[in-house]
């Protein structure tokens, strides 16, 4: 990949890291606060389903993770396995799509549907 | 050379500062081909300086006036330390990235590129940023800071590499790469 592509990948990873740092913090605080009194799965789903703010937040979270993880994995594959070049990048694009797909499916399951 | 497993500027290192239990093990500098005994071939190290476009390229001739750079010029001050590199190769031997990615330019070559990128007289910044931005360039650095920890001149190649990353990001966004 050329210098511009590498620079943009680096920038994308830093930006997605900033989004993830915020999302992880909000997620952990929410979980800790929400379960203080004890919650069943049905009670959690009762609160989350149809919650638009939650849907937007966790969709952002999933997309940031789907962008961030493959870029980091790209360096790991190059250094540990010596796997570089177009085949690695194609495999990682597919990995990003897989992460996004699985994550969005989970988000749809938790936040989709009527309240 | 490597002294008790650590790359050092050997001719300026006192034995009593590094000897463990009265024992001293010396070995050639790491990550470089060994010619014989403790002698390494430094050619791959300096070849990478050339690949990182470590050559100054000015636009003035001897007929022009001197370039005037103020001592407190912010761009110049960024490389006050970096220009003191002595090219000893200690940072290169201390960098794990060099062993993981043999094509990686290494801290010293990137530090040199950074000092030139901050040199207002140099006119090859665009080509230099292209040269240091590839898969084996500054973006490969994990900021483990082995180079900065071991540099005998107390320089921070890590800071220069971070500067190159920022400069590349700006150039990529502006479309000037």
Q: What is the CATH number of the domain that holds B55?
A: 1.10.1060.10
Range of the domain at B138: 35-174
Nearest to B133 among A7, A80, A84 (CB): A7
Grouping H, G, I as helix, E, B as strand and the rest as coil, residue B29 is: coil
Q: What does the pLDDT read at residue B21?
A: 87
Q: How would you class A66 by CB atoms within 10 Å of its CB: exposed for 0-12, middle for 13-18, buried for 19 or more?
A: buried
Nearest CA in chain A to B103: A79
ipTM surpasses cut 0.85: no
Residue B167 contacts residue A10 (beta carbons within 8 Å): no
Helix, strand and coil content of chain B, in percent to the nearest 5, comes to 45, 10, 45
> Is B113 contained in some domain?
yes
Cβ B171–A2 below 8 Å, yes or no? no
Q: Tell me yes or no: is domain A3-111 CATH 2.60.98.
A: no
Size of interface A-B (CB pairs under 8 A): 52
**Chain A: residues touching B (Cβ < 8 Å):** 1-4, 6-11, 75, 78-80, 84
Answer whether residue B90 is part of any domain.
yes
Model pLDDT, residue A115: 46
pLDDT range class, residue A25, cuts 50, 70, 90: very high
The answer to whether residue B10 sits within a structural domain is no
Contact A7 B139 (CB under 8 A): yes
Q: Are A49 and A90 in contact (CB under 8 A)?
A: no
Q: What are phi and psi of B56, to 5 degrees?
A: -65, 135
**Token output for A62:** 């999933």
For the full predicted model, state whether its pTM sits above 0.90: no
What one-character DSSP code corresponds to residue B136?
T
């Amino acid at each position: 990949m050329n210098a511009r592509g590498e620079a943009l990948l680096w920038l994308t990873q830093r930006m997605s890291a900033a989004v993830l740092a915020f999302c992880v913090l909000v997620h952990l605080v929410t979980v800790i606060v929400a379960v203080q009194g004890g919650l069943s799965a049905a009670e959690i789903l009762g609160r989350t389903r149809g919650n638009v703010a939650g849907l937007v937040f966790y969709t952002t979270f999933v997309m940031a993770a789907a962008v961030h993880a493959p870029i980091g994995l790209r360096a790991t594959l190059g250094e540990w396995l010596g796997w570089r070049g177009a085949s690695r990048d194609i495999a990682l694009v597919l990995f990003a799509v897989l992460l996004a797909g699985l994550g969005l499916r989970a988000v749809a399951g938790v936040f989709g549907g009527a309240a | 050379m490597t002294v008790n497993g650590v790359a050092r500027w050997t001719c300026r290192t006192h034995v009593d500062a590094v000897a463990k239990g009265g024992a001293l093990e010396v070995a050639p500098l790491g990550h470089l081909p060994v010619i014989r005994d403790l002698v390494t071939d430094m050619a791959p190290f300096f070849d990478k300086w050339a690949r990182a476009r470590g050559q100054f390229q000015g636009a003035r001739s001897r007929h022009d006036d001197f370039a005037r750079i103020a001592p407190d010029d912010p761009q110049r001050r960024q490389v006050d330390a970096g220009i003191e590199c002595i090219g000893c190769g200690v940072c290169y031997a201390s960098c794990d990235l060099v062993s993981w990615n043999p094509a990686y330019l290494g801290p010293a070559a990137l530090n040199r590129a950074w000092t030139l990128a901050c040199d207002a007289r140099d006119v090859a910044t665009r080509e230099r940023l292209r040269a240091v931005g590839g898969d084996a360039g500054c973006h490969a650095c994990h900021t483990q800071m082995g180079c900065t920890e071991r540099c005998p001149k107390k320089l921070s190649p890590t800071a220069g590499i971070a500067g190159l990353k920022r400069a590349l990001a700006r150039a990529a966004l502006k479309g000037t790469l």
